[in-house]
């Protein structure tokens, strides 16, 4: 299904998140210009959390997840689950620097898998269902909210 224009800015941000998720996973190839060692990936994720993930999570929580409250109980529950995953990802990434060198690759992989699953859940299920359930006027209002939030 085609992504509604109200969700396109958020979906575009997901691309960077998917790249970061793959970078952390064990079988990931080297990406030009991105870190290759576990220690460097840990530092990269600290920066990525601060600069991209936290603002992205806040955007979703203050726009899309609020609009989901106007939809079905199932969609409301999905929004709560996704928000809980935001907190889990923040905690896991914040804890990475305290991880021993022997465990770091496993923890990076865990974060990468969870981040990828989270983004795919939002894109493939949550956004699809939201587009189907919300009437066009609510989606237009969502677009305005997303645009205003991004200007802050």
For residue range 3-13, what is the model confidence (pLDDT) as tens digits?
Answer: 999 999 999 99
Would you state the structure tokens that stand for residue 19, as one six-digit string? 């790249």
Helices (H), 8-72: 8-24, 38-48, 54-62, 64-67
- Averaged over 9-31, what is the pLDDT? 93
Domain ranges of the chain: 8-151
CA 145/CA 95 separation, integer angstroms: 32
Does the pLDDT of residue 34 top 90, yes or no?
Answer: yes
- Distance from chain centroid for Cα 145: 18
**Is the Cβ–Cβ distance between 109 and 69 less than 8 Å?**
no
DSSP secondary structure, 24-35, as one string: HSTTPPP-TTS-
Question: Residue 152: what pLDDT?
Answer: 66
Question: Residue 65: what pLDDT?
Answer: 97
- Averaged over 98-102, what is the pLDDT? 95
| Between 32 and 86, residue with greater pLDDT | 86
Per-residue confidence band for 56, with pLDDT thresholds at 50, 70 and 90: very high
52-66, 72-86, 137-151: the lowest-pLDDT one: 137-151
Q: How far is CA 126 from CA 11, 54, 151, in A?
A: 12, 19, 24
CA 138/CA 82 separation, integer angstroms: 21
- Averaged over 11-27, what is the pLDDT? 95
Q: Which residues contact 90 (CB under 8 A, 6 or more apart)?
A: 49, 53, 54, 57
């Amino acid at each position: 299904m085609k992504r509604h224009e109200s969700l396109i800015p958020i979906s575009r941000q997901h691309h960077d998140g998917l790249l970061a998720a793959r970078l952390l996973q064990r079988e990931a190839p080297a990406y030009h210009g991105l870190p290759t060692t576990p220690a460097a990936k840990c530092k990269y994720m600290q920066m990525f959390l601060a600069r991209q993930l936290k603002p992205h999570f806040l955007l979703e929580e203050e726009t899309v997840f609020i609009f989901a409250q106007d939809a079905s109980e199932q969609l409301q529950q999905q929004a709560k689950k996704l928000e809980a995953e935001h907190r889990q990802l923040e905690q896991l990434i914040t804890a990475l620097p305290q991880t021993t060198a022997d465990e770091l690759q496993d923890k990076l992989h865990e974060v990468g898998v969870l981040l990828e699953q989270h983004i795919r859940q939002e894109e493939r299920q949550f956004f699809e269902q939201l587009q189907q359930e919300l009437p066009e006027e609510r989606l237009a209002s969502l677009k305005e909210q997303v645009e205003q939030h991004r200007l802050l």
